[in-house]
Amino acid sequence: MERLQKVIALSGIASRRKAEELIKNGDVIVNGEVVTKLGTKVTYSDDILVCGKKIEKEEKEYYLFNKPRGVICSTSDDKGRKVVVDYFNSNKRLYPVGRLDYDTTGALIVTNDGNLSNLIMHPKNEIEKVYIAKLNGVIKGAEINKIKSGVIIDNVKCVPKKVKLKNFNVKKNTSIVEIIITEGKNHEVKRIFESVGFFVDKLKRERIAFLSLGNLKSGEYRKLNPKEVKQLFNLVK
Ligand code: URA
């Protein structure tokens, strides 16, 4: 048994919030009766009509996308900017799992599976996100160690899983650092480096969980194979 608004949202007809509105407005009929109570429990064998349309369990799709710079991590944008789902050719209600900033590039899971999406984003599941950050400045061992021992963000101590200086250029005054985090706070990587006085000039996510970009070019996506999908579910069990 699932909550009615969840079943509607998972069917792809509407977001969870919109589903709640539809229920409250009397637009949802379950087994011939109008249901206006949020949280009513249903199953997929119940006959559910939303605004007269019967809902079916939507087939799930899972993709790995290489997000380009200058793209919003969303399904729509009120300023008309390009959004992640513009790149996809699918009749499903796809959305990105978590957020990469407008100017961040790289690995992003895109799906219509709200359940998996929530599990991947939940900090308790400690899904690894591997980033390569280009900093404006030459970072020193002491600052790297400070980050390794944890910095406070949103009143919580964030201890990255790994921080490794990959390269630096004194002439150009830049450093390249690999950082692995398992939470997903807003602008987390940028704020971690800012806390020790460095501005992140470029940020790329190279891997999420075991999914690396591989040969995917910027703006390209590939469907995850059933083994990869199973592996993702095993990670968040
Ligand atoms: N951390 C950031 O600061 N930005 C991102 O886009 C992702 C992680």
**62-124+214-235 CATH:** 3.30.70.580
Tokens at 190, concatenated:
């940028």
Atom in ligand 1 nearest the alpha carbon of residue 184? 8
The full DSSP string for 143-183 is: HHHHHHH-EEETTEEE--SEEEEEEEETTTTEEEEEEEESS
The pLDDT of residue 87 is 97
Distance 90 CA to ligand 1 centre (A): 27
The pLDDT of residue 73 is 95
CATH number 3.40.250.10 given to 128-208: no
CATH class entry, domain 2-54: alpha beta
Could you read off the pLDDT tens digit of each residue along the chain, which spans 237 residues? Answer: 889 998 888 777 888 899 999 999 999 999 999 999 998 999 877 899 999 988 877 789 999 999 999 999 999 999 999 999 999 998 888 999 999 999 999 999 999 988 899 899 998 999 999 999 999 999 999 999 999 999 999 899 999 999 999 999 999 999 999 999 998 899 999 999 999 999 999 999 999 999 999 999 999 999 999 999 999 999 997
* Domain boundary assignment for the chain: 2-54, 62-124+214-235, 128-208
The pLDDT of residue 91 is 85
Cα 96 → chain centroid: 5
Atom in ligand 1 nearest the alpha carbon of residue 104? 6
Catalytic residues: 101
Q: Cα dihedral sign for 69, 75, 81, 87?
A: positive
The pLDDT of residue 71 is 98
Judge contact between 183 and 121, C-beta under 8 A: no
The pLDDT of residue 127 is 96
- Quickly list H helices, 12-55: 16-24
Of all protein residues, whose CA lies closest to atom 4 belonging to ligand 1? 187
Query: pTM value?
Result: 0.82
The pLDDT of residue 196 is 97
